[in-house]
Amino acid sequence: MGLAVAGSLPGIARADSSAVEVTDLRSDPFTLGIASGDPLSDSVVIWTRLAPEPLAPFGGLGPRPVTVLWQVAEDEQFGNVVRSGTARARREQSYSVHIDVQGLRPWRHYYYRFRVGRHLSPVGRTRTAPQYGRPVPGLSFAFASCQAYWEGFFTAYRDMAAQEHDVVFHMGDYIYEYGVGVDSGVRRQPVPVDFTRETMTLDEYRGRYALYKTDPDLQAAHAAAPWIVTLDDHEVDNNWAGPISENNTPQDEFLVRRANAFRAWWEHMPVRMAQSPTGPDMQLYRRFQYGDLVRFNMLDTRQYRDNQAAGDGSKPPNPESLDPDRTITGDAQEKWLLDGMAERSARWEVLAHQTAIAQLDVKAGPEILVPMDTWDGYAASRQRVLDGAQERGVRNLVSIVGDLHRSIVSELKADYANDTAPVVGTEFVGTSISSGLDGMDNDQGGLTILAENPHVKFTNFQRGYVRVDVTPEQWVADYRVADRVIVPDGTISTRARLVVKDGDPSIHVVGGQS
């Protein structure tokens, strides 16, 4: 199924809008679970997608809209329902439902569910944010990325769902555009032949999200807390940059593919209508503030970036990567970020985004070799953001990212060519959920990064996620890792605990625990 580049989701012609609605279904339509996201102090988005046959086009549903009832309550038994209503799940949005539930109280847990006829969804738990500027004694959150379906089970999500988190961040690579193989790799799960091909069409992207969302551990993690999500490259095409694809497809063709990918992403994520795409364009960067404690700047470093320097890959710093006019964020997003920093509205200013800001020399010896796809390939963007944070008096600058399939914790420096340059922030790179198979405690790549980059304080090459507890006094990050992901019964433990004190961006490694 193709997608015209013109037109936004709300304005698409609804040929079935006057048809008689379906009010009951023969089979359970909630096979893809439920989710909530983008919490504000008075509202949160709740989501589901109806799919009695999850891997079939349109979830096996016919052309008519389906009536969906929803409820939000203050208790898990729904004895005190505070908001409720009905929605139409429509074919043109692949029977997804996004409800922006408003009029909620700040910093409270709520429970939500959906009903279609006699079918009742699982119950999800969500939480609103505190009021802007109000004192908040602490925040617990998790962040994750990179979940290749065929390379491992989502064991980390099982552990995440069992923890108490106020919010979860996903930094991208929720799906991969690559085919999953006839038996889904290590999962040994046969799939239709369409799923063995790289995604190009809207139907193919929709099917890939549906496959991933059938995973019970992913569903449990979504149901346990609200999520704030962005995307990276594999939701569209490996290492795409703005209108440029990995293999330099003609740009008009690639923009149609990007529009398909964006449309399917929006249909499957708990985000607002403000994030719905207009063809190949989508507003992804946005802010979330938790009282006076933490402000999260969710960035988009794919849609507006210049092409990777020097043909991509790992290269020495070069005239293109050092070009002062190049950008990874685009001018408008960079201005939005720096203008926001000037407000100094929270104790911890967090950049939540796709890939590493810190310089990462990946070659042993005196020669410097850095990845062109990270901020190393956009050195001027890095300098403007780090200098801008200093100039605006940001108290605690923290970057949380994914993408690299390994854990790396670094001190962000004002000048990586100067060993005595001050540390201006801290960066926590989270490993992958499953991409890269089991991994190991440290591979040669990680050992080289540790040896060649004195600002790097910790590396690990296992799969997992990061759990963070923030107070006014400190930031504590637990790196939760799985011993194995190529089997479904792996064990999760804390590999390392890292602490950053308020007003001091240096990193303290205090060990790990079970």
Helix and strand totals (H; E) in the chain: 7, 24
**Are 307 and 293 within 8 A, CB to CB?**
no
Q: Whole-angstrom Cα distance, residue 267 to residue 94?
A: 7
Position 302 in a domain: yes
Q: In this predicted model, which residue has the larger pLDDT, 364 or 514?
A: 364
User: End of a domain among 128, 150, 165?
Assistant: 128
Q: Are residues 217 and 261 in the same domain?
A: yes
Q: Are residues 120 and 47 in the same domain?
A: yes
Over the stretch 427-465, which tens digit does the pLDDT of each residue have? Answer: 999 999 999 999 999 999 999 999 999 999 999 999 999
Q: Whole-angstrom Cα distance, residue 226 to residue 169?
A: 9
Q: How far is CA 109 from CA 102, 129, 153, 371, 467, in A?
A: 14, 10, 29, 42, 19
* Res 13 pLDDT > 90: no
Over the stretch 243-262, which tens digit does the pLDDT of each residue have? Answer: 999 999 999 999 999 999 99
Enclosing H/E stretch for 397: strand 397-401
Position 247 in a domain: yes
Position 166 in a domain: yes
Average pLDDT over residues 152-174: 98
Q: Are residues 96 and 154 in the same domain?
A: no
* Res 16 pLDDT > 60: no
Q: Are residues 97 and 154 in the same domain?
A: no
Burial group, residue 42, by CB count within 10 angstroms (0-12, 13-18, 19+): middle
The pLDDT assigned to 19 comes to: 58
Enclosing H/E stretch for 144: strand 139-144
User: End of a domain among 128, 153, 172?
Assistant: 128
Position 514 in a domain: no
Position 380 in a domain: yes
Q: Are residues 153 and 121 in the same domain?
A: no
Q: Are residues 268 and 239 in the same domain?
A: yes
Average pLDDT over residues 483-508: 97
Over the stretch 54-71, which tens digit does the pLDDT of each residue have? Answer: 999 999 999 999 999 999
Position 82 in a domain: yes
Q: Are residues 167 and 108 in the same domain?
A: no
Contacts 24+ apart (CB under 8 A), 15-21: 16/63, 16/64, 16/65, 16/90, 16/91, 16/92, 17/65, 17/90, 19/63, 19/64, 19/65, 20/64, 21/64, 21/65, 21/66, 21/67, 21/88
Question: CA angle at residue 122 from 120 to 125, to 5 degrees?
Answer: 130
Q: Whole-angstrom Cα distance, residue 298 to residue 240?
A: 19
Position 209 in a domain: yes
Position 375 in a domain: yes
Q: Whole-angstrom Cα distance, residue 387 to residue 334?
A: 12
Q: Are residues 66 and 150 in the same domain?
A: no
> Which DSSP category does 241 fall into?
B
Q: Are residues 483 and 465 in the same domain?
A: yes
Residues spanned by the domain of 103: 1-128
Residue spans of alpha helices (H) in 392-485: 444-452
Q: Are residues 312 and 417 in the same domain?
A: yes
Q: Are residues 203 and 112 in the same domain?
A: no
Amino acid at 142: A
Q: Whole-angstrom Cα distance, residue 356 to residue 375?
A: 6
Report the percentage of the chain scoring pLDDT > 90: 93
The domain that holds 42 is classified in CATH as: 2.60.40.380
Average pLDDT over residues 121-136: 97
User: End of a domain among 128, 153, 187?
Assistant: 128
Q: Whole-angstrom Cα distance, residue 482 to residue 461?
A: 10
Q: Are residues 341 and 473 in the same domain?
A: yes
Token output for 112: 């939500």
- Report the number of distinct structural domains present in the chain: 2
The domain that holds 342 is classified in CATH as: 3.60.21.70
Q: Which residues, in sequence order, are bridge partners of residue 481? A: 464, 493
The pLDDT assigned to 510 comes to: 87
Q: For the chain, how many residues are written? A: 514
